[in-house]
Amino acid sequence: PNHDKYYDKTNGWTARGQIRYRSGPLDMTLLVDGQDLRLPSFVNSLVIPGGGVNAAVPQGFTQSRFILPHEGEDGLQQKTVRGMLMISYDLGGGTVIESTTMATRWHSSQQYGAAIDLATAIQLRASGQIGIYPFTQVRTDVVDRTLYQDVHVKGSAADGRLNWLVGVEGLYQKDDYALIIGAAPCAFTPAGCFCTGTPSSPVCIK
């Protein structure tokens, strides 16, 4: 409720259409479909036991399962578009040549933020614990492109006692994947201080 959103919400659209043309020995079907969806993201609910199990949070830390203050972006988007062309041509005498062409582009991007917010981090520091750095931000971006082609000829011989098929097929696929993680530039931050800046020039903010 503190984010004024429902995390399991899904919205967007999915569409599909096809058209067929048939004339004499030629039979063609074109199919196109696509979708653009906003899908559920996620948030973390931390349960860290006390008793010194975790050196950064020796007294332990338990978050509510339902009220999860955190800062940063969160979301998941997926876009897909695909086209498929199927062609069949009857050469006569029981011999048919068939072709299938398919092209697809799929794009997925996701963002999820820190496990805790700044106010919670300050409370952990005030209690003498190093705590958890609140500014982690993760982004992923994935693009997949696929092209498929199949051509074959089929027929029968020996009065239908022998069925034969010969052809070729090819598949081309390219994936691009990017992962960006923003986090504390310091391996260790003293109590009462937040680390910012860069790994080569860290800055301590009281």
Express each pLDDT in 158-178 by its tens digit: 887 899 999 999 999 999 999
Report the chain's mean pLDDT, rounded to a whole number: 87
Rounded CA gap, 167 and 89, in Å? 14
Confidence of residue 187 (pLDDT cuts 50, 70, 90): low
Per-residue model confidence as pLDDT tens digits over 136-163: 788 999 999 999 999 999 998 888 789 9
Q: What is the pTM of this model?
A: 0.74
Output the pLDDT for position 190.
Answer: 62
Note every long-range contact of 9-16, with CB atoms under 8 Å and residues 24 or more positions apart, other chains counting: 9/38, 9/40, 10/37, 10/38, 10/39, 10/40, 11/37, 11/38, 12/36, 12/37, 12/38, 13/37
Question: Buried b / exposed e across 132-145, counting CB within 10 Å, b at 16+?
Answer: bbbbbbbeeeeeee
Q: Which residues contact 21 (CB under 8 A, 6 or more apart)?
A: 27, 28, 29
Q: Any idea what the Cα angle at residue 21 is, between residues 19 and 27, rounded to 5°?
A: 120
| Of 204 and 100, the one with more pLDDT | 100
pLDDT at 191 over 70: no
Confidence of residue 189 (pLDDT cuts 50, 70, 90): low
CA nearest to 12, candidates 33, 39, 37, 35:
37
User: What is the arithmetic mean of pLDDT over 6-13?
Assistant: 86
Q: Classify residue 186 by its DSSP letter.
A: -
CA nearest to 194, candidates 149, 151, 132, 147:
132
Per-residue model confidence as pLDDT tens digits over 93-119: 889 999 999 999 999 999 988 777 877
